[in-house]
Amino acid sequence: KLLLDSSENCPKLSLKDLENLSPTTASSLRSLLYYDETPAASVEDVFCLTFTAGFSHFGEHIELPLIVDGSSIAVTASNRHEYVDRYVNFVLIEGVQKQWSAFHKGFQVMCDGKGVSLLRPRELEALVNGTTRLDFGELKANAKYEAGYSESTPVVRWLWEILEGTTKSGENGEYTFPIEARRKFLKFVTGCDRSPVGGLRSMRPPITVQRDGGAQNNKLPTSHTCFNYLLLPDYESKAILYERLVTAIENASEGFGLR
Protein backbone atom coordinates (compact mmCIF):
# COMPACT_ATOMS: atom_id res chain seq x y z
CA LYS A 1 0.00 0.00 0.00
CA LEU A 2 2.82 2.41 0.78
CA LEU A 3 4.39 1.79 -2.61
CA LEU A 4 1.12 2.93 -4.19
CA ASP A 5 0.59 5.78 -1.73
CA SER A 6 0.53 8.40 -4.49
CA SER A 7 -2.18 6.48 -6.31
CA GLU A 8 -5.88 6.94 -5.69
CA ASN A 9 -6.12 3.14 -5.69
CA CYS A 10 -4.26 3.00 -2.37
CA PRO A 11 -6.28 3.13 0.88
CA LYS A 12 -4.74 4.18 4.18
CA LEU A 13 -2.95 1.70 6.41
CA SER A 14 -5.11 0.33 9.18
CA LEU A 15 -5.30 -2.17 12.01
CA LYS A 16 -6.04 -4.87 9.44
CA ASP A 17 -2.66 -4.21 7.82
CA LEU A 18 -0.94 -4.51 11.19
CA GLU A 19 -2.68 -7.87 11.65
CA ASN A 20 -0.76 -9.24 8.66
CA LEU A 21 2.49 -8.31 10.39
CA SER A 22 1.62 -9.10 14.00
CA PRO A 23 -1.71 -10.87 14.66
CA THR A 24 -1.12 -10.87 18.43
CA THR A 25 -0.58 -7.10 18.60
CA ALA A 26 -3.61 -6.45 16.39
CA SER A 27 -5.76 -8.68 18.58
CA SER A 28 -4.67 -6.79 21.71
CA LEU A 29 -5.52 -3.45 20.11
CA ARG A 30 -8.93 -4.72 19.07
CA SER A 31 -9.56 -5.83 22.64
CA LEU A 32 -8.81 -2.28 23.71
CA LEU A 33 -11.18 -0.78 21.13
CA TYR A 34 -14.09 -3.09 21.93
CA TYR A 35 -13.71 -3.21 25.68
CA ASP A 36 -16.95 -2.27 27.40
CA GLU A 37 -15.84 -0.40 30.47
CA THR A 38 -17.73 -0.05 33.73
CA PRO A 39 -17.37 2.44 36.59
CA ALA A 40 -15.45 -0.19 38.52
CA ALA A 41 -13.23 -1.22 35.59
CA SER A 42 -12.37 1.64 33.26
CA VAL A 43 -10.14 1.40 30.19
CA GLU A 44 -7.48 3.33 32.04
CA ASP A 45 -7.49 0.97 35.04
CA VAL A 46 -7.71 -2.28 33.09
CA PHE A 47 -5.17 -1.66 30.29
CA CYS A 48 -2.80 0.76 32.09
CA LEU A 49 -1.58 2.26 28.81
CA THR A 50 -0.07 5.60 27.91
CA PHE A 51 0.55 7.18 24.52
CA THR A 52 3.84 5.36 24.00
CA ALA A 53 5.07 2.50 21.82
CA GLY A 54 7.45 -0.03 23.33
CA PHE A 55 9.86 -2.32 21.52
CA SER A 56 13.02 -4.32 22.13
CA HIS A 57 16.34 -3.13 20.73
CA PHE A 58 19.29 -5.52 21.20
CA GLY A 59 17.77 -6.79 24.42
CA GLU A 60 16.91 -3.35 25.76
CA HIS A 61 13.28 -2.27 26.19
CA ILE A 62 12.65 1.17 24.70
CA GLU A 63 9.50 3.27 24.82
CA LEU A 64 8.90 6.20 22.49
CA PRO A 65 6.08 8.77 22.80
CA LEU A 66 3.37 8.70 20.15
CA ILE A 67 2.50 12.31 20.87
CA VAL A 68 4.16 15.12 22.80
CA ASP A 69 4.51 14.10 26.47
CA GLY A 70 2.84 10.80 25.59
CA SER A 71 4.28 8.95 28.58
CA SER A 72 2.13 11.05 30.92
CA ILE A 73 -1.11 10.82 28.93
CA ALA A 74 -3.26 7.81 29.80
CA VAL A 75 -5.29 5.88 27.23
CA THR A 76 -8.97 6.21 28.08
CA ALA A 77 -12.30 5.30 26.50
CA SER A 78 -12.46 8.70 24.85
CA ASN A 79 -9.01 8.67 23.24
CA ARG A 80 -8.37 4.96 22.59
CA HIS A 81 -9.19 5.23 18.87
CA GLU A 82 -6.57 7.95 18.50
CA TYR A 83 -4.08 5.78 20.39
CA VAL A 84 -4.67 2.80 18.08
CA ASP A 85 -4.36 4.97 14.96
CA ARG A 86 -1.09 6.48 16.19
CA TYR A 87 0.28 3.10 17.27
CA VAL A 88 -0.46 1.54 13.87
CA ASN A 89 1.12 4.52 12.14
CA PHE A 90 4.24 4.23 14.29
CA VAL A 91 4.71 0.49 13.71
CA LEU A 92 4.03 0.54 9.98
CA ILE A 93 5.40 3.94 8.96
CA GLU A 94 7.23 6.20 11.42
CA GLY A 95 9.14 3.47 13.22
CA VAL A 96 10.62 2.05 10.00
CA GLN A 97 10.97 5.27 8.01
CA LYS A 98 14.72 4.92 7.42
CA GLN A 99 14.47 1.32 6.22
CA TRP A 100 11.35 2.07 4.20
CA SER A 101 12.97 5.02 2.41
CA ALA A 102 15.89 2.85 1.29
CA PHE A 103 13.56 0.10 0.06
CA HIS A 104 11.29 2.58 -1.71
CA LYS A 105 14.24 4.16 -3.50
CA GLY A 106 15.42 0.76 -4.73
CA PHE A 107 11.92 -0.20 -5.83
CA GLN A 108 11.59 2.96 -7.89
CA VAL A 109 14.91 2.27 -9.59
CA MET A 110 13.75 -1.21 -10.63
CA CYS A 111 10.00 -0.77 -11.16
CA ASP A 112 9.28 2.91 -11.72
CA GLY A 113 6.68 3.46 -14.41
CA LYS A 114 3.14 4.61 -15.01
CA GLY A 115 1.88 1.03 -15.05
CA VAL A 116 2.60 0.55 -11.35
CA SER A 117 0.22 3.35 -10.38
CA LEU A 118 -2.63 1.46 -12.06
CA LEU A 119 -2.27 -1.51 -9.73
CA ARG A 120 -4.15 -2.12 -6.52
CA PRO A 121 -2.18 -3.24 -3.43
CA ARG A 122 -3.23 -6.88 -3.74
CA GLU A 123 -2.30 -6.94 -7.43
CA LEU A 124 1.15 -5.53 -6.71
CA GLU A 125 1.65 -8.00 -3.86
CA ALA A 126 0.75 -10.89 -6.16
CA LEU A 127 3.23 -9.72 -8.80
CA VAL A 128 6.06 -9.32 -6.27
CA ASN A 129 5.41 -12.22 -3.87
CA GLY A 130 3.32 -14.62 -5.90
CA THR A 131 0.15 -16.27 -4.62
CA THR A 132 -0.46 -18.71 -1.78
CA ARG A 133 -2.61 -21.08 -3.88
CA LEU A 134 -0.60 -24.19 -4.73
CA ASP A 135 -1.78 -26.77 -7.26
CA PHE A 136 0.92 -29.41 -7.61
CA GLY A 137 -1.04 -30.98 -10.45
CA GLU A 138 -0.14 -27.88 -12.47
CA LEU A 139 3.50 -28.21 -11.41
CA LYS A 140 3.53 -31.85 -12.47
CA ALA A 141 1.87 -31.13 -15.83
CA ASN A 142 4.67 -28.75 -16.80
CA ALA A 143 7.60 -30.60 -15.24
CA LYS A 144 10.58 -31.73 -17.27
CA TYR A 145 12.88 -34.69 -16.72
CA GLU A 146 16.55 -35.30 -17.48
CA ALA A 147 19.36 -37.86 -17.20
CA GLY A 148 17.17 -40.89 -17.75
CA TYR A 149 14.11 -39.91 -15.74
CA SER A 150 10.58 -39.73 -17.11
CA GLU A 151 7.11 -39.34 -15.65
CA SER A 152 6.81 -43.14 -15.51
CA THR A 153 10.06 -43.70 -13.56
CA PRO A 154 9.10 -45.21 -10.16
CA VAL A 155 10.91 -42.60 -8.04
CA VAL A 156 9.30 -39.80 -10.08
CA ARG A 157 5.84 -41.32 -9.65
CA TRP A 158 6.46 -41.61 -5.90
CA LEU A 159 7.55 -37.98 -5.78
CA TRP A 160 4.29 -36.70 -7.26
CA GLU A 161 2.21 -39.07 -5.10
CA ILE A 162 3.91 -37.58 -2.02
CA LEU A 163 3.40 -34.00 -3.20
CA GLU A 164 -0.15 -34.37 -4.50
CA GLY A 165 -1.34 -36.41 -1.53
CA THR A 166 -2.38 -39.43 -3.60
CA THR A 167 -1.96 -43.02 -2.43
CA LYS A 168 -1.83 -46.42 -4.03
CA SER A 169 -3.96 -49.41 -3.04
CA GLY A 170 -2.79 -50.75 0.32
CA GLU A 171 -1.23 -47.45 1.46
CA ASN A 172 -2.68 -45.46 4.33
CA GLY A 173 -1.43 -42.04 3.34
CA GLU A 174 1.59 -41.98 5.63
CA TYR A 175 3.83 -41.04 2.70
CA THR A 176 2.06 -37.83 1.71
CA PHE A 177 2.94 -34.21 2.43
CA PRO A 178 0.59 -31.81 4.25
CA ILE A 179 0.32 -28.30 2.83
CA GLU A 180 3.10 -26.84 5.00
CA ALA A 181 5.56 -29.51 3.85
CA ARG A 182 4.58 -28.83 0.23
CA ARG A 183 5.42 -25.17 0.73
CA LYS A 184 8.80 -26.12 2.15
CA PHE A 185 9.44 -28.41 -0.82
CA LEU A 186 8.59 -25.61 -3.24
CA LYS A 187 10.96 -23.27 -1.42
CA PHE A 188 13.66 -25.95 -1.41
CA VAL A 189 13.49 -26.30 -5.18
CA THR A 190 12.64 -22.77 -6.33
CA GLY A 191 13.64 -20.48 -3.45
CA CYS A 192 10.04 -19.32 -2.92
CA ASP A 193 7.09 -20.99 -1.19
CA ARG A 194 4.50 -19.25 -3.37
CA SER A 195 3.39 -19.72 -6.93
CA PRO A 196 3.74 -17.01 -9.58
CA VAL A 197 0.74 -15.12 -10.90
CA GLY A 198 -1.20 -17.59 -13.02
CA GLY A 199 -0.39 -20.55 -10.78
CA LEU A 200 2.38 -23.14 -10.79
CA ARG A 201 1.70 -23.79 -14.47
CA SER A 202 3.23 -20.35 -15.12
CA MET A 203 6.54 -21.11 -13.38
CA ARG A 204 9.49 -20.13 -15.56
CA PRO A 205 11.65 -22.04 -15.97
CA PRO A 206 9.47 -25.07 -15.21
CA ILE A 207 10.64 -27.48 -12.53
CA THR A 208 13.11 -30.06 -13.84
CA VAL A 209 13.69 -33.38 -12.06
CA GLN A 210 17.14 -34.72 -12.86
CA ARG A 211 18.53 -38.14 -11.99
CA ASP A 212 21.37 -37.76 -9.49
CA GLY A 213 23.36 -40.97 -9.68
CA GLY A 214 22.05 -44.49 -9.22
CA ALA A 215 20.34 -46.09 -6.24
CA GLN A 216 22.10 -44.05 -3.57
CA ASN A 217 19.73 -44.44 -0.66
CA ASN A 218 21.92 -42.52 1.78
CA LYS A 219 22.19 -39.42 -0.42
CA LEU A 220 19.85 -36.46 0.05
CA PRO A 221 18.04 -34.63 -2.74
CA THR A 222 19.65 -31.33 -3.75
CA SER A 223 18.49 -28.40 -5.84
CA HIS A 224 19.54 -25.47 -8.00
CA THR A 225 17.00 -22.82 -7.05
CA CYS A 226 18.11 -20.36 -9.74
CA PHE A 227 17.00 -22.84 -12.41
CA ASN A 228 14.24 -24.75 -10.53
CA TYR A 229 16.21 -27.99 -10.73
CA LEU A 230 15.63 -30.92 -8.35
CA LEU A 231 18.50 -33.41 -8.33
CA LEU A 232 16.87 -36.61 -7.14
CA PRO A 233 18.72 -39.89 -6.45
CA ASP A 234 17.06 -43.04 -7.75
CA TYR A 235 15.80 -44.32 -4.40
CA GLU A 236 14.73 -47.93 -4.03
CA SER A 237 11.45 -47.28 -2.27
CA LYS A 238 8.82 -44.64 -1.62
CA ALA A 239 9.54 -44.80 2.11
CA ILE A 240 13.20 -43.92 1.58
CA LEU A 241 12.28 -41.11 -0.81
CA TYR A 242 9.82 -39.68 1.72
CA GLU A 243 12.35 -39.77 4.55
CA ARG A 244 15.11 -38.16 2.47
CA LEU A 245 12.78 -35.44 1.19
CA VAL A 246 11.67 -34.57 4.73
CA THR A 247 15.29 -34.37 5.90
CA ALA A 248 16.23 -32.13 2.98
CA ILE A 249 13.36 -29.64 3.21
CA GLU A 250 13.50 -29.38 7.00
CA ASN A 251 17.24 -28.64 7.07
CA ALA A 252 17.85 -26.56 3.97
CA SER A 253 15.10 -23.94 4.06
CA GLU A 254 17.13 -21.00 5.35
CA GLY A 255 19.61 -20.29 2.58
CA PHE A 256 22.34 -22.23 0.84
CA GLY A 257 23.41 -25.55 2.31
CA LEU A 258 22.17 -27.54 5.28
CA ARG A 259 21.71 -26.00 8.71
pLDDT tier for residue 27 given thresholds of 50, 70 and 90: very high
226 is catalytic: yes
pLDDT digits (tens, 9 = 90+) for 187-208: 888 888 777 766 777 778 888 9
Exactly one of 10, 48, 192, 226 is catalytic; which is it?
226
pLDDT tier for residue 257 given thresholds of 50, 70 and 90: very low
Is the per-residue pLDDT at 91 higher than 80? yes
Instruction: Return mean pLDDT, the chain.
Output: 81
pTM exceeding 0.75: no
pLDDT of residue 10: 47
CA atoms within 13 A on the CB side of 120: 3
pLDDT digits (tens, 9 = 90+) for 132-167: 667 888 888 888 999 888 998 998 999 988 888 765
